[in-house]
Amino acid sequence: MLKFANLDDRVSVTDQLGEDAAPVVLVNVFTVDRAEADRLETAWTEDAKFMQRQPGFISTQLHRGVGESSTYLNYAVWESIAAFKAAFEQPDFRAHLASYPDSTITRPHLFRKLEVPGVCTAD
């Protein structure tokens, strides 16, 4: 089963689930032994299909590091933290986490868009 770690040492994703923000982007960095990369991709695919059926889900995209990397980056857009939390806490989703290879470490973190004048909008 995968292991959870913090992307930010000051705040965990569990802490973030108590916040009220909308919309949000989940960024999740996975590392896995190279020999188990296919298993991670299979497990992630099943999780993504589950999340696509959940209220408040907008989109997701998985990326793999270039070259011989076995580091993955997933980002998923959700209507709100509340919607993500409801999906994340589903017993079926939690049970499926055991499908990931034992070498998997996941570092999920929630983000909200910022407006930077002249560069990007918060819309």
The CATH architecture of the domain made up of 3-111 is: 2-Layer Sandwich (3.30)
Q: Radius of gyration over alpha carbons of the chain, in Å?
A: 15
Domain spans in the chain, listed from the N-terminal domain onward: 3-111
Prediction pTM value: 0.93
Instruction: State residue 46's pLDDT score.
Output: 97
Percentage, residues of the chain above pLDDT 70:
100
Q: Are 73 and 32 in contact (CB under 8 A)?
A: no
Reduce the DSSP state of residue 73 to 3 states and report it.
strand
The model's pLDDT over 55-110, given as tens digits with 9 standing for 90+, comes to: 999 999 999 999 999 999 999 999 999 999 999 999 999 999 999 999 999 999 99
DSSP of 28-85: EEEE--GGGHHHHHHHHHHHHHHHHTSTTEEEEEEEE-STT--EEEEEEEES-HHHHH
Kind and range of the H or E element at 107? strand 105-111
